[in-house]
Structure 1
């Protein structure tokens, strides 16, 4: 049984979000609307700046003030791990450009937060590890250069599950040695999921206009879903991974985490692009439109064929009920919705684990050495964690590090076979087979269940997921709010074949406009579910 007061106090001591204020979790009464720019999307903010009602420096300062009030004080969300010391300077430069009619595009002057495995000068890039707490890459990641070229203001970095949740088999999502525990803004003792925990919480709590996360398998989709957000995981090869601390070059990608589908489309239009330093994007045939906002079609569901996967991996009754409501909404909008199956569901699991172990060691060591990090091998990181066990391993170990370190090179037959099978089973024989079998435009499923209580002693109590096939195949997926369970958000995930982002964005936007299911967080300390009334004569 979860012993809330004792274990929460222990966890708060390690995460640096001490228990103060009127209740045991330190929550202060905060209204989401107590912020001038609450829930405004990129288009709203741009219109205000174009009208002269707002400038980027004022907006950036407002987000910095909100971070101080909500993230470092008040509910103490602990989502932002570092502020860009140049943020106000960057914003002021964008304002000068605006005054000289040099607006760069929809992101001009818009403050964005980045997950702390994405290199952005002059900040640290740590992956949440104390081993890299002083590591400052000398150059921006490719996607950060694109954001800056588009006029975005880099506000800071967000906390994450340490090493993007690839250190232990029993990790606590949202916790890192450097950043402590990020808290779900809907109910503070609930987990934010991971590994893009801080990015999700920050975007949901209006600590920035939007945030960027990364995903290998679920690290954008899951935290977006349980924090009431839109999360878009692109096709592998659409967004460069250069300058991002890696897990797997077969599955890694970065993507937007936003409060609306439109904002995700605007961000993806900037993030996507060819980079010769990333072989996946260098091999991509760039014959697709990168103006993803052109696919925001409120009528996209009319005539569409959607396959619903009633995933056995997501067994929560509220998620099952919410997906039924979503199906009715889509049918009423003119879509044909039929039951579908991924014929190879789950058959890739062992092969995925094998390829991740091989690719993690190879890719991580290449990154550390290329960017002249203070530690340059996985063995050295394992030694660091062992030496500083109290601060780095207070709750869980490093079994995945150790398993990865025992693997050989990428020429091993075990790796080559596993990579080939995983991709084939999840992609051509999985998602593609399901789509072609019934001439479907997309697949839908519950993204996951409601957020679970953060438990530092036994780790995550994960309710299952509906997005795994897209992650392993390297195909796109898009999650959108679809309802709630006692105030905890639930998301629906749309999945398609490779390069189907335009179609998914259109379908998702149409669904979003019909449902408007996102509700801002309420920062409740804990969840109090009313007891069901007992029937007459029942024991009490």
Structure 2
């Protein structure tokens, strides 16, 4: 049994693991993950960033925020905190809010809670200096009835490996501190739909495929991201740590993360949020700093299922520059939620997870809503050379990013160039080392060998789900957090996690739905029914 743990990207074991007593056995049973650290995430070498400071982040916005007082903030809390996007749009259409005020509210919260104080979370790396002016423009457009999409005017944070023109795209790395770029494809799609890019979210550096011995949520640029449900007691998950934390703390209407194997599911689950990892190719990867062109995908992290559907609608689109891009559905994922039902749906529930009370409770809720539950056992299928797939992809894909999507003034063309920079700036650039980068640099294969690795992994990942789904005529599989993220990753299957409660220690847990390619509509509908029946998400206590 191999729950590929809680790596921000995929492998950080820690609090997402079902059964910690098997930790050592699980790690040593696979040569692919034996080099991945199981370091205690609370063993922090660095908390606050040594690269950026509040003064730097707020310099361009300070004057524009001068008219937004504590009194205004308190008066607006009930209208904004934990509200879904349709509710926020309703408040705006009724004149109770404006896009300008909404942006200022989120900025006020970020300034109050995010850095250099006793509740700091270090979730935000940078802010769009033009966002208030852009919000005012949205207000003017709304007067002319130009609301294009439910995401119109909504402030969104992007994981800081996603290109946008307003701010550098750093991947949390000192080497990329000045990586100013054009917009990524999904950034363009969000803007075309009217979204406001509020800023960039912190992440586990290089999407957690860098140091090997660092805690999830750490980056040299952003510092150590902390979980609002337990700042030094609960892991943030990763690698989209800042996106998950920012959503949980109400720093934005929604956020975008990216996943290779668990990097959306893990932080969403750990921060009591909804995280959707789409079918690989449904959302473009162009302009996103890569690990693996085979497995990578962006996806939304939100407070609720409704907002995830809205975000997916806003980001989808065929990208001719992404070789895995697929034609998206012409219908609206958001509008399809009105048809949501679990009547007659058949889900496989893992026997190996039945000692998890929250999982069992969630299954009972699904039954009450009309679903049929079939207990299944995990298929004993390995994922050989998983780490090599990531190594080999990243070596080629990062070089391609530098050539096609990075700032042209950067002097890097290979991963070795970045490693050399880090070695010359080691104290600030790599306090936890760069063990995984070293592994990438050393790994090589023939094209035939690499193709065989990819084919075996995809076949095995698909069999892990397809065997029980076909045998039992199942619509989907039920998991917890990111426990089966690795299998879903190599199968290129979509997965969605939705809050299902909290452990006795207060750690958030997510019920995760997994199904076959391009079943995002079904995943969203199933999760929506469960969410509406349970209303499990609670806001973190100290951040109201």
Could you list the per-position Cα deviations for residues 414-449 of structure 1 after superposition, in whole angstroms to 9, with x for gaps in the alignment? 21111010011101x22122211100011001115x
Question: 2:517 matched to which residue of 1?
Answer: 498
Kept after mapping to 1: 8 A contact 2:318/2:327: no
Task: State yes or no: 1:439 paired with 2:439.
Answer: no
**CA shift at 1:405, angstroms?**
1.3
Task: State yes or no: 1:265 paired with 2:300.
Answer: no
Kept after mapping to 1: 8 A contact 2:282/2:327: no
CA distance in 2, matches of 1:471, 1:297: 29
* Residue pairs, 1:113-128, within 5 angstroms: 113-128=157-172
**CA shift at 1:135, angstroms?**
1.2
Judging changes above 3 Å, is the alpha-carbon distance between structure 1 residues 182 and 83 closer, same or farther for their aligned structure 2 residues? same
Task: State yes or no: 1:249 paired with 2:290.
Answer: no
| 2:426 maps to which of 389, 392, 398 | 389
Kept after mapping to 1: 8 A contact 2:48/2:224: no
Kept after mapping to 2: 8 A contact 1:235/1:475: yes
CA distance in 1, matches of 2:350, 2:50: 38
Question: 1:184 matched to which residue of 2?
Answer: 227
**CA shift at 1:74, angstroms?**
4.9
1:218 is paired with a residue whose SS is coil
Q: Which runs of 5+ in 2 are unaligned?
A: 1-39, 54-72
CA distance in 2, matches of 1:90, 1:14: 28
**CA shift at 1:122, angstroms?**
2.0
The normalised TM-score by structure 2 is: 0.84
2:385 is paired with a residue whose SS is helix
CA distance in 2, matches of 1:171, 1:377: 23
Question: 1:91 matched to which residue of 2?
Answer: 135
| 2:248 maps to which of 194, 204, 207 | 204
Judging changes above 3 Å, is the alpha-carbon distance between structure 1 residues 516 and 15 closer, same or farther for their aligned structure 2 residues? farther
CA distance in 2, matches of 1:285, 1:99: 34
Task: State yes or no: 1:468 paired with 2:468.
Answer: no
Could you list the per-position Cα deviations for residues 185-211 of structure 1 after superposition, in whole angstroms to 9, with x for gaps in the alignment? 001102211100000000110000010
**CA shift at 1:406, angstroms?**
2.0
Task: State yes or no: 1:365 paired with 2:399.
Answer: yes
Could you list the per-position Cα deviations for residues 194-243 of structure 1 after superposition, in whole angstroms to 9, with x for gaps in the alignment? 10000000011000001000000000000000100000000001000000
* Residue pairs, 1:233-382, within 5 angstroms: 233-281=277-325, 284-286=326-328, 288-297=329-338, 300-311=341-352, 320-345=356-381, 347-348=382-383, 350-370=384-404, 371=406, 372=408, 373-382=410-419
Question: 1:420 matched to which residue of 2?
Answer: 455
**CA shift at 1:14, angstroms?**
5.8
Judging changes above 3 Å, is the alpha-carbon distance between structure 1 residues 311 and 143 closer, same or farther for their aligned structure 2 residues? farther
**CA shift at 1:307, angstroms?**
0.4
Task: State yes or no: 1:522 paired with 2:541.
Answer: yes
1:82 is paired with a residue whose SS is strand
Question: 1:478 matched to which residue of 2?
Answer: 496
Question: 1:507 matched to which residue of 2?
Answer: 526
* Moved beyond 6 Å, runs of 4+: 15-18
CA distance in 2, matches of 1:207, 1:310: 38
CA distance in 2, matches of 1:210, 1:352: 31
Kept after mapping to 1: 8 A contact 2:498/2:510: yes
CA distance in 2, matches of 1:297, 1:467: 28
CA distance in 1, matches of 2:52, 2:226: 10
The normalised TM-score by structure 1 is: 0.84
* Residue pairs, 1:68-107, within 5 angstroms: 68-72=111-115, 73-107=117-151
Kept after mapping to 2: 8 A contact 1:233/1:254: yes
Task: State yes or no: 1:430 paired with 2:449.
Answer: no
**CA shift at 1:375, angstroms?**
2.0
Could you list the per-position Cα deviations for residues 103-137 of structure 1 after superposition, in whole angstroms to 9, with x for gaps in the alignment? 11101110000000000112010100000101101
Kept after mapping to 1: 8 A contact 2:52/2:222: no
CA distance in 2, matches of 1:407, 1:293: 43
Judging changes above 3 Å, is the alpha-carbon distance between structure 1 residues 344 and 203 closer, same or farther for their aligned structure 2 residues? same
Kept after mapping to 2: 8 A contact 1:228/1:491: yes
Moved more, 195-204 or 299-308: 299-308
1:212 is paired with a residue whose SS is strand
1:12 is paired with a residue whose SS is coil
**CA shift at 1:7, angstroms?**
5.3
CA distance in 1, matches of 2:211, 2:449: 22
CA distance in 1, matches of 2:47, 2:342: 45
**CA shift at 1:277, angstroms?**
0.9
Kept after mapping to 2: 8 A contact 1:233/1:255: yes
Question: 2:8 matched to which residue of 1?
Answer: none
1:279 is paired with a residue whose SS is coil
In the comparison of the two structures, how many residue pairs are matched?
479
Judging changes above 3 Å, is the alpha-carbon distance between structure 1 residues 341 and 295 closer, same or farther for their aligned structure 2 residues? farther
Judging changes above 3 Å, is the alpha-carbon distance between structure 1 residues 297 and 104 closer, same or farther for their aligned structure 2 residues? closer
1:435 is paired with a residue whose SS is helix
CA distance in 1, matches of 2:338, 2:351: 26
CA distance in 2, matches of 1:178, 1:35: 34
Kept after mapping to 1: 8 A contact 2:204/2:218: yes
Judging changes above 3 Å, is the alpha-carbon distance between structure 1 residues 95 and 397 closer, same or farther for their aligned structure 2 residues? same
Q: Which runs of 5+ in 1 are unaligned?
A: 19-29, 449-464, 525-540
2:102 is paired with a residue whose SS is helix
